[in-house]
């Protein structure tokens, strides 16, 4: 079957990823077509259930206008307030492709926009609307579940997609998974990464542009007795005995206050995901259904989810496996992955909240 590609120019929400900033999308005039590369993330942002026809026509014409056009602009415009890269050639590489009206059905069947699934008995995840934006929120009690992080499979290669982990022996017990931080060309983490108590990548304290380097950035970590979110500076000072840890940025909420750069909404609207912790014993993950600003996403964690500390994980490529709510985002490329599995029977851990600034020790 003949297949043509659309190259969508866009800013790169994840810092230090060195592809050329264009998302390739392979489309074919067939209900069983597959989307290749990062292009699926762009289609999810512009082709929602109610407005996909208008959005796709706007995409093909290169003349976005109104409703769906605003979503398109939010998906591809750079973010001057938050280190977005310059975007040139607004219509470079954009080619019109005739796609049958089965586009939406094909995407949904692939586990995308309107994926449905059996609600899992654990009921970890739910849908939540905050400031007129839909989100999927998953609240994990560490007394009942364990949170782990994954990077490479038994073959030594990065999992690369949530589906590869969930379908692997290591992921068969997972009841939820989400992309766990920013990554580079090799799908390796941009910053600190600890898996199974072993530090696989050192903390990144360099200066730079992009969201990762918007200081303060931070670390989400899991110990034998709890979990926490700390700024990178605090984490390196306190040195918690992390079994798992991932560094990302920026912090969303710090000691109950929004990141100082979030005074305004900014112009960046992206699909975003993040993590917060309540009391050291409840880990809260959230992913937006629509593009959202940093300010609104941070307020979600502070005001609705009541997490005093929260960390941004990534944007645009954000993916989640949440069978509770019928989400199986199989098509996204990812780097580090955070997974949740039921805790084996036995004594539950003593959960302690993480130590704050000035404390002599962190959660152990």
Residues 155-166 have pLDDT tens digits of: 999 999 999 999
Check if the beta carbon of residue 112 is closer than 8 Å to that of residue 121. Answer: no
Is residue 243 domain-shared with residue 300, that is, in the same domain? yes
Report yes or no on 356 lying in a domain.
Answer: no
Residue 331's pLDDT is what?
A: 81
What is the per-residue DSSP string for 63-119? ---HHHHHHHHHHHS--TTTTPPP---TTTT-------TTHHHHHHHTTSTT---PP
Same domain, 199 and 310: yes
| 363 in any annotated domain | no
Domain boundary among 109, 139, 169: 109
Q: Both 256 and 311 in a single domain?
A: yes
In-domain check, residue 347:
no
How far, in Å, CA of 226 to CA of 228, rounded?
Answer: 7
Is 55 found in the same domain as 139?
no
Work out how many domains the chain is built from and give that number: 2
What's the chain's average pLDDT? 73
Position 362 in a domain: no
The whole-number average pLDDT for the span 69-98 is 31
Residue 167 sits in the same domain as residue 241: yes
Say whether pLDDT at 74 is over 50: no
Q: Are residues 325 and 285 in the same domain?
A: yes
pLDDT over threshold 90, residue 113: no
Q: How far apart are CA 337 and CA 177, in angstroms?
A: 7
Where among 109, 136, 161 does a domain terminate?
109
DSSP string, 201-252: E-------SSGGGSSS-EEEEEETTEEEEEEHHHHHHH----SEEEEES-EE
Give the residue from 109, 142, 169 where a domain finishes.
109
- 227-275 pLDDT tens trace: 999 999 999 999 999 999 999 999 999 999 999 988 666 678 999 999 9
pLDDT in tens, 322-338: 999 999 998 879 999 99
What is the Cα–Cα distance from 244 to 221, expressed in whole angstroms?
A: 6
Residues 82 and 169 placed together within one structural domain of the fold: no
Tell me if 273 sits within 8 A of 44, measured CB to CB: no
- Please indicate, yes or no, whether residues 144 and 212 belong to a single structural domain of this protein: yes
At residue 41, the 3 state secondary structure works out as helix
Whole-number percent of the chain with pLDDT over 70? 60
361 occurs within a structural domain? no
pLDDT score at 355:
54
Residue 115 lies in a domain: no
Cα–Cα separations (whole angstroms), residue 223 to 46, 76, 312, 345: 39, 38, 20, 18
How far is 200 from 214, CA to CA, in rounded Å?
Answer: 23
Assess whether 98 and 211 both reside in one domain: no
Assigned token pair, 51: 């407005």
pLDDT of residue 137: 98
Tens of pLDDT, residue by residue over 5-34, are 444 333 334 433 333 333 333 333 333 334
Could you tell me if 198 and 133 lie in one domain? yes
Tell me what percent of the chain is helix, strand and coil, each rounded to the nearest 5: 20, 30, 50
pLDDT band at 354 (very low <50, low <70, confident <90, very high): low
On whether both 244 and 272 belong to a single domain, the answer is: yes
Summarised one tens digit per residue, pLDDT across range 118-157 is: 334 458 999 999 999 999 999 999 999 999 999 999 999 9
Q: Do 99 and 226 belong together in one domain? A: no
Whether 163 maps to a domain, the answer reads: yes
Confidence of residue 356 (pLDDT cuts 50, 70, 90): low
Report pLDDT for 122. Answer: 52
Domain range holding 37? 4-109
CA distances from 227 to 151, 181, 251 (A): 19, 16, 16
- Residue 20 domain flag: yes
């Amino acid at each position: 079957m003949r297949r043509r590609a659309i190259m969508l120019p866009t800013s790169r929400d994840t810092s230090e990823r060195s592809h050329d900033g264009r998302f390739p999308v392979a489309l074919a005039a067939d209900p069983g077509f597959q989307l290749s590369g990062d292009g699926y993330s762009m289609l999810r942002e512009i082709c929602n259930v109610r407005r996909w026809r208008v959005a796709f026509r706007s995409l093909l014409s290169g003349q976005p206008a109104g409703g769906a056009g605003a979503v398109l602009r939010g998906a591809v415009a750079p973010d001057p307030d938050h280190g977005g890269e310059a975007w040139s050639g607004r219509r470079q590489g954009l080619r019109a492709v005739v796609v049958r009206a089965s586009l939406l059905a094909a995407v949904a069947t692939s586990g995308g926009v309107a994926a449905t699934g059996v609600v899992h008995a654990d009921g970890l995840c739910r849908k939540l609307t905050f400031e007129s934006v839909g989100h999927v929120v998953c609240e994990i009690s560490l007394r009942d579940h364990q949170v782990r992080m994954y990077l490479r499979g038994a073959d030594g290669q990065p999992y690369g997609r949530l589906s590869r982990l969930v379908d692997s022996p290591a992921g068969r017990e997972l009841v939820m998974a989400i992309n766990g931080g920013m990554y580079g060309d090799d799908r390796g983490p941009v910053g600190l990464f600890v898996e199974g108590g072993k530090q696989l990548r050192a903390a990144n304290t360099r200066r730079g542009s992009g969201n990762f380097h918007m200081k303060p950035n931070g670390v989400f970590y899991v110990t034998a007795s709890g979990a926490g979110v700390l700024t990178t500076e605090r984490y390196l000072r306190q040195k918690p005995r992390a079994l798992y840890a991932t560094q990302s940025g920026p912090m969303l909420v710090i000691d109950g206050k929004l990141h100082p750069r979030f005074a305004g909404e900014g112009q960046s609207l992206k699909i975003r995901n993040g993590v917060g912790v309540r009391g050291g014993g409840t880990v809260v993950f959230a992913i937006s259904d629509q593009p959202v600003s940093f300010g609104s996403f941070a307020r979600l964690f502070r005001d609705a989810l009541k997490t005093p500390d929260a960390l941004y994980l990534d944007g645009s490529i954000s993916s989640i496996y949440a069978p509770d709510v019928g989400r199986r985002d199989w098509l996204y490329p990812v780097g580090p992955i955070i997974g949740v599995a039921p805790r084996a029977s036995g004594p539950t851990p003593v959960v302690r909240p993480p130590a704050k600034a000035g404390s002599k020790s962190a959660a152990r």
